[in-house]
């Protein structure tokens, strides 16, 4: 089975109107080659699930500027004024979720769990419409799993089976997103043969990865 495909083939798997998770945090590396092609192919009406709206001209910021996004589910949009402008103008629907709750809802979806209890958001508007439970005298909100049709994540070194290693702070939401989407595409900075990545260095196990996109984004 060959998981390595071209970015052009990969992006055809991302359809108008789908729900897509995109790894990354603020301005740190994102799957820019795939995002480039999504913009070029004029993919529309996306529901994007990501930590934040990135910065203008980078990653998710580009999708927002090119009006590819109908709805954004994120924890923060403050670094991208265009996202705020579109939200205030009613052109972009934004659902804000506490960052830890966002990560854990995604993890639940990928881990076969029906939800979790969290103290985050008690006494705030985050409570609205949610069930409350008391466990050992402490109040919690029930938060439900959050899944997606597709996830695109950025890997530093990826073997051809789909094992992923991340440098620095680039891992952020990648693991939980790879678990929670039906179709997972990793954009690799470097692709290596199985065995070149030591088993103990694998941060996202290959089982969560469907396709790997590489050659075009080696920086050359």
Partner 1 sequence: MGIEAKEIIARRVARELKDGYVVNLGIGLPSLVANYIPEGMSVMLQSENGILGMGAICEAGEEDENVINAGNQFVYVQKGACFFDSATSFAMIRGGHIHLTVLGALQVDEQGNIASHIIPGSMAPGMGGAMDLLAGAKKVIVAMLHTAKGKPKILKRCTLPLTAKGKVDMIVTEKAVISVTPEGLVLDEIMPGSSLEDILQHTEADLIIRDELVK
Q: Which residues contact 83 (CB under 8 A, 6 or more apart)?
A: 53, 61, 64, 72, 77, 92, 94
| Cβ atoms within 10 Å, residue 13 | 15
Is residue 86 near partner 1 by the rule CB under 8 A? Answer: no
Angle formed at CA 21 by CA 15 and CA 25, multiple of 5 degrees: 140
Of the candidate residues 18, 21, 25, 163, the single one contacting partner 1 (CB under 8 A): 25
H/E stretch holding 34 reads helix 32-40
Task: Please measure the distance between the N-terminal and C-terminal CA atoms of the chain and give it in whole angstroms.
Answer: 27
Is residue 202 near partner 1 by the rule CB under 8 A? Answer: no
Cβ-contact 52, 26 below 8 angstroms: yes
**Ramachandran region, residue 3 (left: φ > 0; alpha: ψ -120 to 50; beta: rest):** alpha
Is residue 119 near partner 1 by the rule CB under 8 A? Answer: yes
Is residue 171 near partner 1 by the rule CB under 8 A? Answer: yes
Binding segment (CB under 8 A) for partner 1, from list 14-22, 117-125, 191-199, 205-213: 117-125
Closest distance between partner 1 and the C-beta of residue 190, in Å?
Answer: 13
Of the candidate residues 6, 27, 205, 216, the single one contacting partner 1 (CB under 8 A): 27
Closer CB to partner 1, 43 or 158, in the complex: 158
Closer CB to partner 1, 43 or 58, in the complex: 58
Binding segment (CB under 8 A) for partner 1, from list 14-22, 92-100, 129-137, 209-217: 92-100
Residues that bind partner 1 (CB under 8 A): 25-29, 51-52, 55, 74-79, 84, 87, 94, 96, 98-101, 103-104, 107, 118-126, 156, 166-176, 203
């Amino acid at each position: 089975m060959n998981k390595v495909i071209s970015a052009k083939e990969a992006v055809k798997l991302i359809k108008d109107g789908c729900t897509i998770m995109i790894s990354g945090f603020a301005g740190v590396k994102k799957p820019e080659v795939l995002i480039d092609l999504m913009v070029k192919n004029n993919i529309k009406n996306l529901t994007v699930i990501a930590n934040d709206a990135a910065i203008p001209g980078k990653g998710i910021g580009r999708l927002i500027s090119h009006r590819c996004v109908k709805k954004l589910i994120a924890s923060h949009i403050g670094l991208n004024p265009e996202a705020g402008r579109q939200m205030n103008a009613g052109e972009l629907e934004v659902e804000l979720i506490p960052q830890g709750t966002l990560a854990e809802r995604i993890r639940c979806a990928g881990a076969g769990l029906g939800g979790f209890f969290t103290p985050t958001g008690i006494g705030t508007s985050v409570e609205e419409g949610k069930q409350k439970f008391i466990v050992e005298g402490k109040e919690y909100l029930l938060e439900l799993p959050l899944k997606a049709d597709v996830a695109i994540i950025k890997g530093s070194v990826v073997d051809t089976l789909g094992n992923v290693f991340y440098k620095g702070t680039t891992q952020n939401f990648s693991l939980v997103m790879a678990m929670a989407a039906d179709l997972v595409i990793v954009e690799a900075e470097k692709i290596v043969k199985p065995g070149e990545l030591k088993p103990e260095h694998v941060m996202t196990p290959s089982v969560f990865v469907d396709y790997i996109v590489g050659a075009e984004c080696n920086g050359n």
